[in-house]
Structures are given as C-alpha cells and as structure tokens.
Structure 1
Amino acid sequence: MNEILEKIKQYETIIIHRHVRPDPDAYGSQLGLKYILQEAFPNKNVYAVGEPEPSLAFIGDLDQISDETYKEALVIVCDTANAPRIDDARFNTGVALIKIDHHPPVDNYGDLNYVNTHASSTSEIICDLNREWNLNNSEINTKASRVLYLGIVGDTGRFLFDNTTTHTMNTAAKLMEKDFNRNQLLNQLTERDPKLLHFQGYILQNFNYDGNGFCSIKITKDILEQFNLEANEASLFVNTVSDISGLKAWVFAVDEGKEIRCRIRSKGIVINHIAAKYNGGGHPNASGASVYSWEEFEQLASDIKSVI
C-alpha cells in the first residue's frame, strides 16, 4: 500500500483505467480513487478514462485525454484481472503501471500489483487504501463516498452475495455517513428501459433448466435484433434466473459478433477455473468466458454440469 502511495507522490499526472464493459465497481473504484487523489493532491492532474457505459452514466463523467498526456504519467488500473480486458489500450504507454484489484491474480501486468481477493470489491479496497494512506485525515469526501458506495453495492448484490463481510458492512456504513441520496442512486442502478423488461420476459420464458441444478440462457444475434438491444444491455439480466429452486450454476451467453460472451454464476460451486479454460476468469462464483461457436458453448455448459 505504501509503495503505491510513494509512486503517486512522484508523478504530476495520474491516469486511472478500468475494464471494458464496466460495472458499478469498475466505475466506483476508478472515480472514487480519482476524487480522493484530486482532494489530497490538488496540484496533480488526475484523469479517469474509458468508454462510457450509458446505463451507468449517472455515476460520473469520464475524461477525454490526448496520447501526449501519457508521456510522463503514472497509470493505475482498477478492478481488472488481466491486461486484455483493460479499457483503452494506451494504459501501457505511461511511465509506470499499477494494478489494484480483487479478482484472483491470473495476470500481474503492473509494475506494482495490489490484489486482495478477500475484498468484496475494488471499491472496498480503495477505501482501505485511503485509510492506510491517511489522506485527508483518512476521510473520504461526499463525491468519492457516493461512487465507492455504489461500487460496493454493485459487487455485493446489495449485500446479498457471500463476498459481503463485516468489514464490507463497516466500510459501507462509513461511506453512508456522507450526505448523498442513497435511495435515488439505488433506484437509478436498477431502472430499465421498457424494452429491456420485454426482453426480461423473453428470458423467463426461454431459459433452459435441466432439473439438476444447471441453467443456460442463449441470446443469439436475431434475439438482440428482435428486442433492439446492444449486447451490453442484454448482459444486465445475467441474474434473472437466479431464484430458480435448486439452481446451483448458470451461464448467460450473448452473441456479440466476434465472440459469444458467457457470464457464469454459481451458488457455492467454484467455476472460475472453467472460465479460465475458455479465455476468461474471475471470481470463484462469478466469472466470464468467451467461446467462438455455439458448439463450443455446449462444451462449456457440459464442463459446468460436470462440477455440479
């Protein structure tokens, strides 16, 4: 932790990245770190970059910067397990690179790598770092508290997932002391365009449950066209089937054109080693993978069934 702080102190320009297809924790950790550093070091240039996700635009704005900005910059990547998933390929054009993450460390791509797999989220880690660094007297301002709280809420499923610990709850409680409208934010986090609810109805009528604990959902390109959806919009519904009685693991597959992106979830069964076999990885109970044909998808599904 202290080595990271010393690196931050050495550079006048700091650029913060996160993963493609960002979720609330990617946004929360990235922007939370930006706001903390801006307050602690008002003379530094601190940027957060990446392709915006429209459904999460309410969380905060990202920066547009030139290639020139990287020449003397420290780059920090939040919430990203492996380098190919980093949003904006310019991440490796800075002077130094730091990784801060809570996923299993399959790719230590940074010059400094801080990974805590016991943390519920990278947003939780950012709170821990600030406390250790004693920046701003270890206080987190309202602007940063707001986004970090959303990051923790997102990655714990509103504190329902088993990655929620007493430390997670204490960290969230500290953030909640700040004056921001939590109910409004949580409503925004779950609001959906009406067309998406029609799509959710399609999922509920067309999931494939085998009766032995495994469920699969296949979203082909023609289904995306039928509901006028982008692939990232479809992926919001990965947990639609999670309440099926007896369900132990499921895979939600979306044909994104160049690949079929598979989001794998489970209840207590370790599945990230299977995701790693198919060009992916992640947490023991929540991972992502990529296959390149529906035949390969069936093999992935078979492998998940085998661990059930």
Structure 2
Amino acid sequence: MTRQHIIEAIKQYNRIIIHRHVRPDPDAIGSQAGLKHLIKNSFPKKEVYIVGETEPSLKFLDEMDVIREEIYKDSLVIVCDTANQPRIDDQRYTMGGKIIKIDHHPETDTYGDIQWVDTNASSVSEMIVDLATYGEKEGLKLNNNAARLLYVGIVGDTGRFKFPSTTKKTFQLVAELVAFNFDRSELYNELYSVEDKISRLSGHILQNFELSSSGLCTIKLTAELLERYDVSVDESSQLVQVVGDVKGIKAWVFFIEESDQIRTRLRSKGPVVNEVASQFNGGGHPLASGATVYSWEEAKALEAELEKVCEEYEI
C-alpha cells in the first residue's frame, strides 16, 4: 500500500518540494526532476519545486529551484535516492509538513512519515515510473519531460543496462518511457561525451593502475595529479568505470584527494563492497558504494579490507 499512501499524500498537498542527495548522479536528478514533471503534468495547479546544489555536468537535465524557507510551511517534502539523512542536499527538508522517503539503497537510516524502499529496483527513477504506472487510475500521467528524465536516471544507475540490478521489470518500465517523444541519442551524447582532459587522465589511469593478486585494482588520484590534468574532484566521477572492462579485476577503488579528505569510490564485479564502505564513513549498494577517509594511512586500511573481500570471493 506504500505507493497508494504516496499518491494520497501528493493529492493532499498543494505545495510539494522534492530533494535528493548531495553530489548528485543521473538517477538522483532524473528521479527528482522526473517526479516533479510527473506531478505537474498530472495536477497542473500544484506548486512543485526541486532543490539542491547545481551539478554542472548534469545541468542539461533540469534547473534547480531557489525557494525561501517559508515555502516549506505546510508543504509535502519528498526525498529521492538518499539512504541517510546527512546526505540529503538542503537540510531544510525537516521544515515541511510531511516527509516521504523514496529510495533503493539498503536501509541504513529510517526517516520520514512514509518510506518506500525497494532494494530490488535498479534505480529510484525506475520506482517513479512504477509509481506512475500504478497510479494511472488515480490521475498520474507521464509526459515527454518526465519520461526523458526518468530514462536518463535508469540508464545512469544501470550502466546502460549492463549492471546486475537491471531486471525484466526494468525493461518493461523502460518500454513505457521510450513510447514518449525525446531524443535518446542526444541524451547518451550528453551523458557520456567527455572532454579531452578526461580522456588523457583515463589513459594515465590505464597505464598506471595497480592490480593485486586478489583481483583488487587501486587507483589513486592525488591532488597533484588532478591539477596536472586540470580535472576537478567532481569531474573525476566520470572516470570511475574506466577499468571496469579489464580482465582479472574483481573490484576496484578510486581514492580522490581533496584538501580535507580523500573521497573514495568502490565498484565491484561480484565481491560485496558496501560493508567495507560502511566501516569508512560511507555505504551504498553491494557492488557500488562510496566512502570517505582522511589520510593515506586510512586509505591503506580500507584497501586492506577490500583485499580480504576479494580474496574470499570465488567466481
């Protein structure tokens, strides 16, 4: 009944504010903005806002709204694609009249008056399409804008439908989206075209990555290296799959040095990595997680834990 409760709440409130996580990826913005356009198309008289910091590389998807604090009074707040409260972009989310959590990450932080968490879903964008399909009799109607955004979110979180999270249901719901009028080729170009500096740093990574006997690949992007290639920490997220097709790699970890921390991205072809991430100020999916360490010594400790996971994993 969770989807029904969400639809009833959407109908009840005249003003709705939609949040997502910090440092957003395509699914975060796709689900957030896609839900906005779904609601606006279904109930044109409602006020619907999306909030959070602008991510330059995803600005082509939609523009964030800038709203005053008083707008939150008696508003419905929906948080998309965010497992725990500290990662919610714009902490004013608590000022609303009711909070709904829609997420597909393993449950680590129960918050909100209504929670819809589906760890079997490939993405929150998939969940929003599911909500739209379920709610057709309640007046929910997708349009071209919503379909475009939700398609991008699903593509992003499934790695162009390559990841194990892609299911029969994923394809069935995507089939609903491609019936709408939007340019899929243009979206792929926007999502996956990279500047030459990213390609050059990719070449450096492929020439210099470390691969242990356990199958763990380690990549260290120091501040000096990022400066040499003129790549920002945020831009480095485009590099996380660069070693994904290399034979012999079971899992890989990117350490990205910032001024006050070392951002860490973990990916896997089988070994479960989110339990390691949770030991180092992070979490996420079993095969795709993030963490934060504060020294190279701590990075080495995280690497050692990943080594154990890879050694224990049998293909």
Fold match by TM threshold 0.5: yes
Secondary structure of the residue that 2:249 maps to in structure 1?
coil
Q: Quick check: 1:214 aligned with 2:184?
A: no
Do 1:40 and 1:136's aligned partners in 2 also have CA atoms closer than 8 Å? no
1:280/1:294 Cα in 2 relative to 1: closer, same or farther (>3 Å)? Answer: same
Do 1:30 and 1:78's aligned partners in 2 also have CA atoms closer than 8 Å? yes
What residue ranges of structure 2 are gaps of 5+ in the alignment? 311-315
Do 1:40 and 1:135's aligned partners in 2 also have CA atoms closer than 8 Å? no
Q: Which amino acid aligns with 1:53?
A: E
Partner Cα distance (2:257, 2:72) in 1 = 34
**After superposition, what is the alpha-carbon deviation per residue over 1:70-91, rounded to whole angstroms, capped at 9, x for unaligned?**
1221111000111111111111
Which of 252, 271, 274 lines up with 2:273 in the alignment? 271
**After superposition, what is the alpha-carbon deviation per residue over 1:29-80, rounded to whole angstroms, capped at 9, x for unaligned?**
0011000101111111100111111111111111111112112211110001
TM-score of the two chains, using structure 2 as the length reference: 0.95
**After superposition, what is the alpha-carbon deviation per residue over 1:176-207, rounded to whole angstroms, capped at 9, x for unaligned?**
01111101111111011222111212211221
Match of 1:304 in 2: 306
1:45/1:139 Cα in 2 relative to 1: closer, same or farther (>3 Å)? Answer: closer
Partner Cα distance (2:176, 2:9) in 1 = 27
Match of 2:247 in 1: 245
Q: Which amino acid aligns with 1:189?
A: L
Q: Which amino acid aligns with 1:43?
A: K
Which of 244, 249, 259 lines up with 1:257 in the alignment? 259
What count of residue pairs does the alignment treat as equivalent? 308
What residue ranges of structure 1 are gaps of 5+ in the alignment? none
Partner Cα distance (1:46, 1:31) in 2 = 10
Partner Cα distance (1:278, 1:67) in 2 = 34
Which of 47, 50, 59 lines up with 2:49 in the alignment? 47
Secondary structure of the residue that 1:59 maps to in structure 2?
coil
- How many percent of aligned residue pairs carry the same amino acid? 52
Partner Cα distance (1:79, 1:68) in 2 = 25
Do 1:39 and 1:136's aligned partners in 2 also have CA atoms closer than 8 Å? no
Do 2:38 and 2:141's aligned partners in 1 also have CA atoms closer than 8 Å? no
TM-score of the two chains, using structure 1 as the length reference: 0.97
Q: CA deviation at 1:257?
A: 2.2
Match of 1:134 in 2: 136
Match of 1:76 in 2: 78
